Chains A and B, each alone.
Chain A
Amino acid sequence: MKNGKQNQPHMTTEAKDDRKKTNQISINQSERRGSNKVWDFFCSVKLAVVIILVLVVACILGTVILQGRTLDEYTAKYGYTLATFFRITELNNVFYSYWFAFLLVLLCANLICCTIKRWRNTFMQTGFILTHLSLVLILVGGVVKFQLGVKGGVNVYEGKSVNYFLTQLINRQGKLDYVKKDLPFSIALDDFILEKNEPKFQLVSYIKNKDRQKILEVKVGQRQRVPGSGYKVTIKDYIPDAELKQEPVNTSDTPDNPAIFVKLLGSDKVTAEGWLLAHDRNYYEDKKQNLRVEYIWLSSQEELEKTVSSIETAHPKISVMISEQGLSQDYPMELNKTFKLEGTNYSIRMLQYVLNYGDRRPLAEQPTDNPSVQVEINGPDGSETRWVFEKFPDWDKMHPAKYKNLKITCSGIASGHMARNTIRLFQSPEGKQVMVSIKDNHITSAIPWELEKKYTIADLNHQIMVSNYFPSFDFKKEVIKKSDEVGMPAIFVEVEGPSGKVDDWLFSNQQYATWYTDNNLALVYESTGDSIKHFTSKLRIEENGQTVAEKTIRVNDPLTYKGYVIYQSSYDPEAGSFSGLQVVKDPGIPIVYAGFGALCFGVVFIFYIKPFLRKKSNKEVEE
């Protein structure tokens, strides 16, 4: 049976028991010191609890307020007034401040006095005495470290040696200072070795509307749910060392994405070749030769003929339409000239034009990707400036403008700025194929072209040939396995979500995330980086030119010589050519460690050994 007394906290019980004893036994003692209030004050638990609580507050302040920064940093972060307040109260350096030191001295006094007062040579007191004195030892050791110890760092290059190190401190002006300390020996770095872990790869999922990132398992064949969402991901294949091959293929005879393969030949050698896609990148430009090749697909034969015949009339111009008045007017592109719109009170002026909107390069270097003109409109409500795009005639309709009723389009800007030699390859669904050569804005020839035939380009010593035609061009993605070793892994992933199943290859070297069709789930297959496994320095300690100690140090395994301990702390992250060493000297260590030992044994004694012994003796009494 357990009894009530036994269940009472040991500390309180004993304190009470002992107090009674003290009262009885040492009346003489207390008479001698009885009136000494100071002594009682330093012995009291009340003081202990107060000190402990003040220490708690101090420690909290010491982590909430940044510590040991330069004055400038404080002023920038907290403002001048607070920064000054922190400096005066030493709240910027709590743990090394005078008032904190005072607290610790008080604590020590308290510990020593209460231990002396309660000192009794009984075995049961062991824990009490050990814990309280151990704390004194640890604090004394700390003072020794503060007074006699040094701590600093130094970088050593491979094959070099140093005989000093640098300590960092904040000086009186609140600035960061380095102080050079000489060593009574020199440290030579014979070798520095950086060992890296094998790269690892992981599949990361990201759910946009929840801003949540999770790591998925990479296990082939297993269907897994993306945590916190309804998506399901199945990894269907894994290749440890993959390469992506993209091969152009023709997927059907319907010309929904027509493309031709064009070769340029100079004295029978191919100088350039590539696919031109009518609906995508439809031209090739050679600025050096001042040559441009365009591939133009037209929806019917009539249109093809019409376009070919009207090439020369395609001078740059802008058209202005005012729909409600049924008015439409063309103007030649002449910059900075004001045109009045007949029958209205509008006037327009062209300010500038570009061949590729947003391109900062000079006009001559711009590709003719997005030609546009900047137009100023003056009307009853003042002036408005807008960009007009050749390829996007409806741009102004979709964007805010003052004069919405005024529609402006432009055309022929690109051709007005053509390369000296332009070759246009026209094609229509019926199979009509015309090659038009334009030189200095004039058609020099217009002939039908055929596959696999070479045509000479006038003036240029070059020939052109169309060697292939795909009505429905597409890329076939093919992933091939280069080797069985882990090189550049890739996984084939199937995602199930609200808009069905989608699958794709994810490559570990891919720069961008792969998004599921609803643009809410993204997957990235990436390397976790080749993290550092170990870094070691082969050190030699030299004194008067003689090697006196040698050791290969690594993190957790330092070298000790003449009271100095040399630690591996960092390395040159770029070239890996120097090793960062930390040099520490702390004569207080034996005292502190003695304190640690006593503290550990003391607490175990109080809370485990003593109750156990008590229980045993209680049982004996019962029996």
Chain B
Amino acid sequence: MSLINLTLIAYIVASVAYIAREVWMSVAIKWISLGVFILAFCFNLTWLIARSIKAGHPPFSNLYESLVFYACCTALVYIIFEFIYNFRVIGALASVLAMLILLYATLQDSSIRPIMPALKSNWMLAHVITYMLGYGAFGISFITSCIFLAVKPFAKNKKSNEVKKGNEISLINFDKLSYKLVAFGFPFLTLGIVTGAVWAKKAWGDYWSWDPKETWSLITWLAYLAYLHTPLIFPKMNISKSKSSVILAFWLLISFGIVNFTFIGLNYLPSAADSEHIYGSQ
């Protein structure tokens, strides 16, 4: 069996284990689910390493490789957050998300092709890695926002939508968690844009030329920037806390849609034909 399929299966098993953990609340299952998830992540990473050795260049020269890398980064961000905050439900969805990204990858052309001269740069390396870590964080924040919106109606009576964690009560709310994830990812996104600009300057002579990919990455950045600034205006506008958190959660869903459009949807734009760095259908 190919390593990609093995990774896919491991992610599926991990999400099942996470759900089991939800039902039985046992410490053993908690470690098993995390263990399987980490195993899936390791498979994912191993594939990437093997691929870059085989291809002789970093594993994000085309859409297929980038998607696998995207899945890997999403998993990594999840693992970091699970270690810091010890949360649960998200695990199942995080591995589903990673799995969906991988599944989408397998629909793409998987051939190894020689890379264009412009892609041979260390700035490209920094650019893609920071970007993907940012995207990974936004992916997980998408999940926490979904869960927030899903549990919100049922948590009305309680003071806040508290969730049980193992045997103790955690005060982490999903909206706060979303914020933390965005706060984790936003610097990566910013670094990604800046390194991308520097790379473009080196390769094409201009750090910014309003190319569709550039413009959409700016849109992504602005969307999350708006998310980070809006909490400052809600109190002034007399919008209640519970209402504002719903608005922000919705905004994160939209923003993640923008992320994915920037990543894979740009081919649908009329201006795509002129773009220097949209993944072509080759």
Contact = CB atoms under 8 A, between A and B. Distances in A.
A528 interface: yes
Interface string B169-213: 011110010011001101100110010011001111111101010
A600 B190 CA distance: 7
A582 B204 contact: yes
A410 B233 CA distance: 92
Given A8-B176, A604-B187, A56 B232 contact: no
A53 B226 contact: yes
B271 A67 contact: yes
Interface string B106-123: 100111111011101100
Interface in B94-134: 106, 109-114, 116-118, 120-121
B275 to A, nearest CB: 9
Given A53-B226, A555-B203, A11 B232 contact: yes
A611 B212 CA distance: 35
B279 to A, nearest CB: 16
B53 to A, nearest CB: 17
Contacts of B111: 202, 215, 528
A296 to B, nearest CB: 53
Interface in B65-113: 106, 109-113
A3 B171 CA distance: 7
B133 to A, nearest CB: 13
B114 A607 contact: no
Contact of B222 (A52, A556, A593): A52
Contact of A600 (B191, B222, B237, B269): B191
A215 B282 CA distance: 13
A52 B225 contact: yes
B172 to A, nearest CB: 6
B158 interface: no
A584 B205 contact: yes
Nearest to A592: B207
A462 interface: no
A422 B145 CA distance: 88
B233 to A, nearest CB: 5
Interface string A51-63: 0110110011011
Contacts of A555: 117-118, 120, 203
B156 interface: no
B136 to A, nearest CB: 15
Contacts of A49: 226, 229-230, 233
Interface string A607-620: 11001000000000
Contact of A556 (B120, B186, B187, B233): B120
Interface string A198-227: 001010000000000111000000000001
Interface string B137-148: 000000000000
A563 B112 CA distance: 39
Contacts of A215: 109-111
B26 interface: no
Nearest to B172: A7
A106 interface: no
Contacts of A255: none
A446 interface: no
B203 A556 contact: yes
Contacts of A197: 114
Contacts of B223: 56
A15 interface: yes
Contact of A63 (B179, B202, B271): B271
B117 A151 contact: no
Name which of A8, A16, A607 has the most chain B CB atoms within 10 A of its CB. Answer: A607
Contacts of A600: 187, 190-191, 194
A528 B113 contact: yes
B205 A9 contact: no
A233 B112 CA distance: 20
B246 interface: no
B197 A63 contact: no
B149 interface: no
B231 A12 contact: yes
Contacts of B38: none
A317 interface: no
A193 to B, nearest CB: 12
Contact of A45 (B204, B222, B233, B270): B233
Interface string A578-606: 00001010100100110010011001101
Interface in A487-522: none
A10 B117 CA distance: 43
A531 interface: yes
A73 B139 CA distance: 39
Contact of B194 (A9, A59, A214, A596): A596
Contact of B270 (A15, A64, A227, A611): A64
Nearest 9 A-B pairs (CB), nearest first? A555-B117, A584-B205, A603-B187, A12-B231, A215-B111, A45-B232, A197-B114, A9-B179, A567-B205
Given A11-B232, A603-B190, 20 more contacts: A2-B171, A7-B176, A11-B231, A45-B229, A45-B232, A52-B222, A59-B216, A62-B215, A63-B216, A63-B269, A64-B269, A214-B109, A227-B106, A555-B118, A555-B203, A565-B205, A569-B204, A603-B186, A606-B187, A607-B187
